[in-house]
Chain A
Amino acid sequence: MSIMFGRTVTTAEQLLSMYEPGRPTELVRGVLRRLSPAGYRHGAVIGRLAGRIGPYARERNLGETFGAETGFILARNPDTVRAPDVAFVQQNRLPSEFSSGYFPGPPDLAVEVTSPTDTYTEVHQKALSWLEHGTRLVWVIDPVARHATVYRGRDDMTVLGADEELTGGDVLPGFTVALRDLFPAGS
């Protein structure tokens, strides 16, 4: 999923200015990580989930939903900027005016959709990194195994099967989606 490239310490601002279309990049403690574009099954799951969360949150004025590649500044000096596959920030944490920079803080919900080559170490590291920086709910969705892991804290993780529902809890009150509805037919 990621390859470190040979630069030393970089900041969120430098990362923003070096944006290369089609080459999503993250910054972890000042070190650049380039992510490969994802496969289309992965992308379809993201599309389906964002398509559910977005309208649900908008209609109820709960907050803003962010698509893949949106950067969130999790730490400064050294800087960490990560981009989940889908993110949601509650209304009361949104700035009154949106800027073109990265979001200054963690999302309230971060969703990661795994690719078949993602390693166990990497996926857990990323989920933990969201939690440690203040994200309250993390969903890791595995379209191959057709299950999802819900992280509310290091001591509070649950695995859901395809017949179960993801629920928004106090981050996205009332939101539910059957996991199976996120997986395209034939996948």
Chain B
Amino acid sequence: MKKTCFLFVTTILSWSVIEGISFGQGTATYAPTHLSCCETKEAVPIRIAYLKEASPDKEDVEPADSPGETFPDPLEPLNRVFFEFNDKLYFYVLKPAARGYKTVVPEEIRFCVRNFFNNLAYPVRLVNNLFQGKVAGAVEETCGFFANTVVGLGGLADIAKAVDLKKHEEDLGQTLAVYGAGPAFYINWPFFGPSTLRDTIGTVGDAFLDPLNYLDGWYSAGARGFNTVNETSLRIGDYESLKKAALDPYVALRDAYYQNRLSKIRE
């Protein structure tokens, strides 16, 4: 018994010493940061078990969460046409506009604009968090909204982020999914981009909560256009990277949208 104890203690001590040494080396590159970096996460055996199921050592190479599961795409020919359209729209209209805008407007201001529009989308997030029973999320969002609007000069500054309040991005499409609605099928809208039948219904529903919709027609469109150009100016290069890395950009985009939505719905 004593021997076991002794061995146990020795093991723990030697482990601590070794870890201590590597920590010491780690601190050589320590630099102060206002971003917290040392959140710990509990081990989640369930997820790792999924990985093991997915091991290709088994005869059946297709892992459990096979992305052979993707959106049904019965409208593929039409979607591909719209994809080409959006592609041309991006390169011939949106990107030049965003570039021109970027040259004139400094980045800080463009961040402020982004913050402003993000803040305006608060009602959508609030309502959908509540519909999904995510009360904590709703509360955190509300705190963030007030912080941004009051302290952040009407939403121009992202105060919420500065005080580590997290965003809980929920929309009606996700809410419908949580209630069991399937995506139905993939739609690639001209102008609006990838969506599904469910998410499109969601977007329409969310529009009732969007302050921009209550502006007069031209102002509303103008505001949206402005937001789009602003956002694009902050993301120039993303779409190009996708195209460059993909053998089939249309499928790459559809799959990225699928996986991204899935992960958002799950969280």
Chains A and B bind each other: no
